Structure 1
């Protein structure tokens, strides 16, 4: 077999993981998934993806597995669609002399305390922040700042552990819980530090950057505090001209300051009295199906671009003719405890709304659900396309309210446990 290999170190569990492998095959490369537990990704078996079982947290074991693969076939690239393993993939690519981002830059970026300090020193607008390694330090920082603050882990993804704390009592409780955790949801060790930061209330956006080029600005919808669950996105965002320029300038400045500038970066920002403050930079493609929205709205395939970059191929980020012009997504979340009813009917009602191109509920009828604390609490999605952002957003809101949301039924009271 002479086909070159494109190695993937683990994967994200939702969204683009499958698409990475599909794009590799379309480009004539054989995707190979390196994973401690390939069963975590159902698409791997469904798509008959070649897999290698290896402890991806063990650098020596991982390198040995890569060397065995290289002895039989040419390895053309190493990537990961999971933020947790982007630095690992970059390390492997560098050892093999293949394209990729700076692993040191990715590691620094993934530590939000290091990232914030780097951005602040480079003059990139960021919220006020303080780093705490003990509960007392977090409480003192909140007292000094005054008013509500956001407390979050210095590493994480998908709004995990991010919470608005309105007083020092809430800060103490949440910081104590975060600092007690020694591993994350992937079983990887986590730093014993938290970020205490200014609570910004302005509109939230993301800028999708590739290399040092801003591809598109996305309008983000975020659920009510104290959690900050992303509930939707609109592509493209249409802020005022001055705000649009400020968002792009802050995002690109941040990427350069962090020493990234290779492949995709997802930069999250909030407008604060006209200032585009960077909330965080993620050294990867956006989640929340944003790449799919960009593909439908602009005809730009960000997943394909990342795969091409990993293979050392030229990347074209030019808008394609025939794209819709705009696209939106809305995620279903429960506002209170509920039970899922007729999911088939809810999906059918959503798909009947003009402009809907995809609708899905993730759980089965009869499932009890509650308010979302992070991305894992999202119950389904609807994606729309239209000629303008307003048109696609209106269709998405309608399909969510009169389609997917009809699956939510009032939850009966839980039966008391027998004494």
Structure 2
């Protein structure tokens, strides 16, 4: 690594696809030099492809992260952040220790601990599903009986719908609870607490509200795969609902953020619009995944990734560059399983009018098997147009161009 003085932008771990790469792009565009702190850089092929500096260390150790960032600060460090929900807390604490711009680390912790998040929102009277905390299979079954079936059973810390399941019977509750409570480490190799959430099922269409500094900037409609899982298969912006619905979703989000103390930086809040009104599914103290920022940028010119980088480095937020107004994301989920050999037809998909991005999200050789999470997706298309109908038509035509081969 070069020893010449310059302004570094430290990213603690990354998303495996999507916004991690975009964070580095935005940092470079601002004249910063991105460096990713990672335990296993091989998880992120874009690092080598884009020539991103890497520091290899145990990122699960906050002291190790703080020491390396302190070394970077001696050379010139503009900011510390993370595009991975699992590492947002350590990035915030390290940035605070170095006197760099960052969200409140305690607020981040309240959000990352989903049972604590539920308790805070309940105390503030924010609409959400009824819930119980369980530390044993028997407690989970009893909780589901009290709340009513079907019930959602999920980890108290997680991301990308990993481990989230809709259970129709007490037998399913017991089986899934046993699996979750027996998991000692999560998919990132971090310790998993033997506590789970059992929640009443909030029936209704699902949305996300993207916010900056406590204010809603976009209301997005979600497409989900079949139960019992909650795999996101697409997103639509602006959400095709009456303006009154968008306003109430945004207002509920603002109330949730205020209750949790999240008044700085980006947040991704998921809600369902039930017959009783909006129910917060969860508040995530970070930028959205699922290529939502890319969709919003293509549709409106608002670069949410750049806004987060700007906030973390004390720079001015970018002004929207303008756009056609509507956008969507569609994901490709193979029907079969095996080993990914390739995603074909990308050039044809990219050549269609209105297509902003068409990319694979898994590399050849990756195992493909149903997991009930974001890992089921192998490719995606982002489209933008003047109307949502036109954007959706372009995206679905582009997806039809793609074929996935498995071995």
Q: TM-score, normalised by structure 2?
A: 0.93
Contact 2:20/2:83 (CA < 8 Å) preserved in 1? Answer: yes
* Deviation by residue 1:9-50 (Cα, 9 ceiling, x = unmatched): 111111111111121121122212212222221222222222
Greater CA deviation, 379-388 or 174-183?
379-388
Contact 1:229/1:372 (CA < 8 Å) preserved in 2? Answer: no
Structure 1 gap segments, 5+ residues each: 412-419
Shift of 1:389: 1.3
After TM superposition, list the pairs within 5 Å mapping 1:152-167 onto structure 2. 152-167=154-169
Q: Which has the larger radius of gyration?
A: 1
Contact 1:338/1:369 (CA < 8 Å) preserved in 2? Answer: yes
After TM superposition, list the pairs within 5 Å mapping 1:222-237 onto structure 2. 222-237=224-239
Contact 1:335/1:371 (CA < 8 Å) preserved in 2? Answer: no
Contact 1:349/1:399 (CA < 8 Å) preserved in 2? Answer: yes
* Deviation by residue 1:320-373 (Cα, 9 ceiling, x = unmatched): 33x1211111111134558878842x4355345443233234457898844451
* Distance (whole Å) between structure 2 residues aligned to residue 329 and residue 175 of structure 1: 32
* Distance (whole Å) between structure 2 residues aligned to residue 50 and residue 330 of structure 1: 31
Residue 223 of structure 2 aligns to a residue whose secondary structure is strand
Change (3 A) 1:49 1:351: closer
After TM superposition, list the pairs within 5 Å mapping 1:213-224 onto structure 2. 213-224=215-226
Q: What is aligned with 2:330?
A: 330
Q: 2:129 aligns with which of 123, 127, 133?
A: 127
Residue 172 of structure 1 aligns to a residue whose secondary structure is helix
Contact 2:154/2:163 (CA < 8 Å) preserved in 1? Answer: yes
Contact 2:17/2:361 (CA < 8 Å) preserved in 1? Answer: no
* Deviation by residue 1:108-140 (Cα, 9 ceiling, x = unmatched): 101110001101111110011111111000000
Contact 1:335/1:370 (CA < 8 Å) preserved in 2? Answer: no
Contact 1:372/1:378 (CA < 8 Å) preserved in 2? Answer: no
Contact 1:100/1:262 (CA < 8 Å) preserved in 2? Answer: yes
Shift of 1:391: 1.5
Shift of 1:379: 1.8
Structure 2 gap segments, 5+ residues each: none
Q: TM-score, normalised by structure 1?
A: 0.91
* Distance (whole Å) between structure 2 residues aligned to residue 390 and residue 200 of structure 1: 27
Q: 1:197 aligns with which of 185, 196, 199?
A: 199
* Deviation by residue 1:204-244 (Cα, 9 ceiling, x = unmatched): 10000000111110111010101110000011113112211
* Deviation by residue 1:248-299 (Cα, 9 ceiling, x = unmatched): 0011111111111111000000000151111000000000000000101010
* Distance (whole Å) between structure 2 residues aligned to residue 300 and residue 44 of structure 1: 25
Q: What is aligned with 1:355?
A: 354
Residue 247 of structure 1 aligns to a residue whose secondary structure is helix
Q: What is aligned with 1:148?
A: 150
Contact 1:205/1:219 (CA < 8 Å) preserved in 2? Answer: yes
Q: What is aligned with 1:252?
A: 254
* Distance (whole Å) between structure 1 residues aligned to residue 101 and residue 350 of structure 2: 41
* Distance (whole Å) between structure 2 residues aligned to residue 37 and residue 342 of structure 1: 24
* Distance (whole Å) between structure 1 residues aligned to residue 76 and residue 12 of structure 2: 17
Greater CA deviation, 335-344 or 152-161?
335-344
Q: What is aligned with 1:33?
A: 36
How many residues in Structure 1 have an aligned counterpart in Structure 2? 404
Change (3 A) 1:336 1:213: same
* Distance (whole Å) between structure 2 residues aligned to residue 18 and residue 136 of structure 1: 43
Shift of 1:79: 0.6
- State the superposition RMSD in angstroms: 2.1
Shift of 1:107: 1.1
Shift of 1:68: 2.4
* Distance (whole Å) between structure 2 residues aligned to residue 2 and residue 368 of structure 1: 42
Change (3 A) 1:248 1:27: same
Q: What is aligned with 1:210?
A: 212
Q: 2:67 matched to 1:74?
A: no
After TM superposition, list the pairs within 5 Å mapping 1:45-84 onto structure 2. 45-71=48-74, 73-84=75-86
Change (3 A) 1:330 1:395: same
Change (3 A) 1:363 1:115: closer
